[in-house]
Amino acid sequence: MDTKKMARRIREDLLSLGDETLRSSTARFFREDIKCHGIRSAPVRKYGKMIVKEASGQRKEKIFELCELLWRGGYLEETFIACHLTESRAKEFEKADIRLFQHWVGSCVTNWASCDTFCNHSVAMLLDKYPENIGILKKEWVTSPNRWLRRGAAVSLVIPARRGEYLEEVMEIASILLLDNDDLVQKGYGWMLKAASEFHRQEIFEFIMGRKDIMPRTALRYGIEKMPPEMRKMVMDRARG
């Protein structure tokens, strides 16, 4: 596969599917300056599935080479295709792939949608296979000056946290990010706490109660969203007090 030719073809295909009105409204949806073709989610997913099927016979290295080009292109929908392609090779993931994933999040991600799509799925799938890689998230991602790596460290644990996994790591990451001034990072770790509360409600409630005086309100509200009304009231009453 000529990856440069394939990347050009994907861009041309997506350009043909784009809509100028939707492109403008999508761009306004983000605070960051983004590039997008203006395509709704369902057609992008459908197209992504087609590309995954078409590339199924290629080596993982070639697929990741194509993903690199799609990430570097910077268009929102193209990053989603890169995510689809990466997820399709989850069975072939290797422990060292965390470094490539770290590069994509730290150097190529420019918005929360690309960050969350990639970290929710591809990074989480890598952690499923190599849970020891979470040490890199705790030591390097959460302390990075890059907002997307910090958010990504939390968002990567959302799906496993819903299954009751990584409680200790969830609280450790939330503790490190607790006073982060970036509201997108606050929303990210608040989302992670909310996910963990679905399985470990009491533990997350106690974690938040113990820090509610200093936890940013954005993260606090996200974290308690799935809790019963009486628990939410206790947190908010004490936060006001």
Q: Is the pLDDT of residue 240 over 90?
A: no
| pLDDT value, residue 238 | 60
* pLDDT one-digit tens code per residue, 104-134: 999 999 999 999 999 999 999 999 999 999 9
Model confidence at 36, in pLDDT bands (50, 70, 90)? Answer: confident
Model confidence at 139, in pLDDT bands (50, 70, 90)? Answer: very high
In Å, what is the CA distance from 210 to each residue of 151, 220, 221? 22, 11, 15
The arithmetic mean of pLDDT across residues 26-53, rounded, is: 88
One-letter amino acid identity for 47? Y
Residue that is written with structure tokens 């394939």 in the block: 6
Model confidence at 241, in pLDDT bands (50, 70, 90)? Answer: very low
Q: Measuring CA to CA, which residue among 75, 70, 72, 79 is closest to residue 33? A: 75
Q: Is the pLDDT of residue 237 over 90?
A: no
User: Rounded CA gap, 142 and 135, in Å?
Assistant: 10
* pLDDT one-digit tens code per residue, 74-89: 999 999 999 999 999 9
Average pLDDT of the chain, as a whole number: 94
| pLDDT value, residue 227 | 96
User: Rounded CA gap, 66 and 72, in Å?
Assistant: 10
The arithmetic mean of pLDDT across residues 180-187, rounded, is: 97
Assessment of whether the complete model's pTM goes beyond 0.85: yes
| pLDDT value, residue 239 | 57
